[in-house]
Amino acid sequence: MSETTWYLETTDPAELRPGREPEGPVRFTRAQVPSPELSRFLYETVGRDYRWFDRSPWTDQEWRDRVERPGVETWVLYDRGTPAGYAELEAQDGGAVEIVYFGLMPGFLGRGLGGHMLTETVRRAWDLAGRWPGREATRRVWLHTCSLDGEHALANYEARGLRLYRETVADQATGGQVDMSPK
């Protein structure tokens, strides 16, 4: 079995193509109090069906270290007061901000929330430096997704204006990887 990973980026906030506004009241709110328990819950619930296992063995202290790290933010989408999805942002050197995790809770898929949540996530990535004194301004927002993620993930990222800049294919049986990026 092979797994394709796509790397996407945007280098100008004007490239953002907003998703449609959701029907009904939704809020996209930053979890300003670092909460390892909340982050673990969001990660495990959203990622369960997509084989997000890299953080599964983390200790409570590893979760705490992550959420308390300056420049790491957890944003939660609420639909009528209920968590519907989340995004984790990470400020990196050189003015880059990675959308480390992004996804909806299983019960909120197919309701048109993903495009709106991604729009808001990209906006928060572009203004992240303003919330962290001493951080350089955002010059690039990037993420990666793979063929194990939701069937509409790649299309949503591209529809919001993120451009593919690298593609790799890994053979799960051999562990080998081939870079399919244009030369």
CA 56/CA 60 separation, integer angstroms:
11
CA 77/CA 84 separation, integer angstroms:
5
- The CATH number covering residue 80 comes to 3.40.630.30
Task: Convert the pLDDT of each residue in 135-174 to its tens digit.
Answer: 999 999 999 998 888 888 999 999 999 999 999 998 766 6
Residue 72 · residue 92 · CB < 8 Å: no
Task: Convert the pLDDT of each residue in 23-61 to its tens digit.
Answer: 889 999 999 999 999 999 999 999 998 888 899 999 999
pLDDT of residue 151: 81
Report whether pLDDT(77) > 90: yes
- Give the residue numbers spanning the domain of 96: 2-179
Q: What is the dihedral of CA 91, 92, 96, 102, to 10 degrees?
A: -50
pLDDT of residue 47: 92
What total number of domains does the chain contain? 1
Report whether pLDDT(177) > 90: no
Phi, psi of 160 (to 5 degrees): -85, 0
pLDDT of residue 3: 87
